[in-house]
Structure formats: C-alpha cells, structure tokens
Amino acid sequence: MGAQIEDVGALPDWAEWNPSASYTLGVEEEVMLLDPWRWSLAQRIEDALDGLPQSLGGFISAETHQAAIELATEPHHTVAAAASQLIDLRGQLTDGLAPLGMAAAAAGTHPTATWKETEVSPAGRHQLIHRTMRELARREPTFALHVHVGVAEAASATRLLNQMRAHLPLLLALSGNSPFWQGRDAGICSARTVVFQSFPRTGIPRAFDSYLDWVGALDRLISAGAIPEPTFLWWDLRLQPHLGTLEIRIMDAQTEVADTAALVALVQSVARLELEEGYAALELVGAPEVLAENRFLALRDGIEASFVDPVAAALVPAREQLDQLLDAARPHADELGCRDELDDVARLADATGAARQRDLADRARNLQEVVRGLVEVF
C-alpha cells in the first residue's frame, strides 16, 4: 500500500473501521508483579501466566517487561460495570499470585526499580521491541492506565482524537502517580511519562484532517517497514480501528480502583461532550506547541500546574480548568450514568496518587513501605 490513501475503498486491511457502540468503555491497567519479601519487582511474567487460574486467561497479557502484567476488562456501557469487573480481576490476580510467591500493585513506576534489574518478556512482539529499541527496552518498567472509548464511525473517531488532545495534560495532571524514580523523589508527579518517552513515537500526535489523513500517515511508516503494525505507535492517544475505539493512553496506573473509575468517568463524559458539543477551543486544539508545554507542566506539577491558555494568553490554574470542564461534562455524565464517578474526580484532585505516595514516604521514611502500602490497597 502506498503513502497516498485517496478513497475509502483503498484502505489497507488494518485500517478498516470496526464500529463500536458509542461511548462504550474498555479499561486496561498495567500492574507490577512484586516479590512480597523484598517488595522489589518480580521478573516472573512467565510463571504468572502459567500459574494463574484459567478464569483470568482472557483478561491478562504480558507486557514488554517481565515484571508487568496487563489486566483488561470487557467492553462495558457504564463506568460502574467496568470498575466492578476491574475489582474482580484484581482480586483474582491477587489470589492467584499468592501461591506463586508474588504480589501485585499499581502505580506509574515502582519507587526503587532500576534498569539493571529489568528483563524483557520472551514473547515475539516484546523481543522485536528489544531488537528495534535495543537498550531503551531495558529501561525501568512503567505502568499506565489505558481507556478505550467506543465510536461508531471512523470520521467521528478522528474528530474525537483531535479534540481530546486538548484534555490530555489535565488527565495526566490528575493521574500523576509516579513521584519516585530509582529510589528517590524525582520532584515531578509522573516519572512514568518521562521514562516512557525514551521510546520513539510517543507524546501527543498532531491533529488530522480526516480519517484518511490518519491512515495515510501511519501507512507511510508501515509500508516503508519502519514499524510492523499500528500498535507500534505509542502516542498518548491513538485510534484502534479493529476495536472501533479511541484509546487514551496518557494516564499513570492508579493504585485504587475508585481513582481509576473517576478518571474513566471523566474520559467518557468528556468524549461525549466533545462529540456532541465540540467543547475544546480551536486555538488550543490547533496549537501543538501549547499542548506539548502543558503536557510537560502536567507531568512536573500535577494538578497544581498552571496551563497555557492561548485564548486568554495567560497561564490558568489546572484546578480552574478542571472545575470548568466538570461543569460542562456533568450533563453528559448524567446521560451516561456515571455522575457519581465523575463527582469523585474532585476527591482525586484533592489527593492524587503522587501526593499520597509522598505522604506515605514522609511518614514511613522507607520506600519499601510505600510499595507495601500500594499492595495493601490494590
């Protein structure tokens, strides 16, 4: 397939859009495998996959690093249903890992892990990543929260991708849950974001004129042999044609399911807000340099950040922007049945994961105790 995609009939097979019911949800969280005696990462994904109960089989998978496992829910219409399944999956994982001498926890990074301890998973995809990324693939493991939002049509999904780019810094600010890196406080709220962006093809993608524009951009890379298939683009959000979803990928994994549910509700409600009303200002959607700066401010300062507002030509507190966004999103949350979870965003903003980890570290004066605390609430 060449670089020019001129009409729908010319779409490559990977780009055929498989429609999903609008605003349905799928949640994926990357979870750390732990040695419960030392509270260090356990490089044992093969043991986990072989030893966990068959009931988890369709909901777990390996990640690039052997100390990570992914939990994935089925598609759901409501945040409550997705959160309920995630609680069940976490429970099954915890129970299944115990006889194997492992535990599990969720945060953006392990507080004390170093690259020297990292082992790459043996599966073909992950070994390909190692061959192409070389030692970059042996960086410290990172753990993210991914939310899929169902979209019926490719054109609508592309429009949603463009608009949701404006909200990525705020989602990152709220979800920051990785203040510690290599055994020290990194002075930022999402060390995961910094570590992960050592990979190529990360960050906020540009806006696309149409779905065909998006397909053409990816097809240039695939046809040239630079990447084998679309999921080797690790952007902060991306279209998933075979699932019929927009996948939001910028958020740190959350320690507690209640925090995950709040973020998922915000994503779902804002997605409906954007497709139904077109909330984000064009001046922001069309300013990639502003989005990139706001992304940095978010990973550094979390919810205490002030973001560049190109309309006001000023820095505006993230909390103020969040209040405005929640006001606009509440009617959509009511329609989607996630008002309770959306209202919980305010609680998360008052005590983000990064803030809670720092508070525990201050009290315990021991990062191993921080890991123990992550495990206890998993």
Amino acid identity at 169: P
Number of domains in the chain: 1
Q: At what angle do helices 367-377 and 353-364 cross, to 10 degrees?
A: 130
Asked if pLDDT for residue 93 goes beyond 90, the answer is yes
Task: Share the mean pLDDT of the chain.
Answer: 92
Whether 185 is covered by a domain: the verdict is yes
In the predicted model, what is the mean pLDDT of residues 277-287?
A: 96
Q: Is residue 11 part of a domain?
A: no
Domain harbouring 168, CATH code: 3.30.590.20
Give CA torsion, residues 102, 103, 106, 109, to 10 deg.
-50
Q: What angle do CA 144, 149, 150 make, to 5 degrees?
A: 145
Which pLDDT does position 59 carry in this prediction?
97
Report pLDDT for 34: 97
The distance from CA 213 to its chain's CA centroid, rounded to whole angstroms, is 24
- For the chain, the distance separating the N- and C-terminal CA atoms, rounded to the nearest angstrom, is 46
pLDDT tens-digit profile of 325-355? 999 999 999 999 999 999 999 999 999 999 9
Looking at residue 129, its pLDDT comes to 54
State the angle between helix axes of 168-175 and 257-277 in degrees (0 to 180), rounded to the nearest 10: 170
Q: Does pLDDT of 123 surpass 70?
A: no
Q: How far is CA 254 from the centre of its chain?
A: 10
Q: Write down the pTM of the prediction.
A: 0.93
**98 within a domain of the structure (yes/no):** yes
- Identify which of 135, 311, 128 has the alpha carbon closest to the alpha carbon of residue 228: 128
Q: Is the pLDDT of residue 165 over 60?
A: yes
Cα angle value 301/305/307 (rounded, 5°):
135
Residue ranges making up the domain that contains 238: 21-377
Cα–Cα separations (whole angstroms), residue 378 to 30, 32, 90, 101 = 12, 11, 7, 16
pLDDT number for residue 4: 44
pLDDT at residue 1, rounded to an integer: 35
Q: Kindly list the distances between the CA atom of residue 207 and the CA atoms of 28, 129, 365, in Å, as whole numbers in the listed order.
A: 25, 27, 45
| 63 close to 69: Cβ distance less than 8 angstroms | yes
Return the pLDDT at 14: 94
Residue 4 located in a structural domain: no
Q: Say which residue, 309 or 10, is predicted with more confidence.
A: 309
Instruction: Kindly state whether residue 7 falls inside one of the protein's structural domains.
Output: no
Q: Is the pLDDT of residue 201 over 70?
A: yes
**Residue 12 domain-assigned?**
no
Mean pLDDT of 40-44: 93
> How confident is residue 365, by pLDDT bands cut at 50, 70 and 90?
confident
Is the residue at 128 inside a domain?
A: yes
Whole-angstrom distance, CA of residue 356 vs CA of residue 104? 18
Query: What pLDDT, on the 0 to 100 scale, is given for residue 3?
Result: 42
Q: Is 107 helix (H, G, I), strand (E, B) or coil?
A: coil
Cα–Cα dist 358/33, whole Å: 21
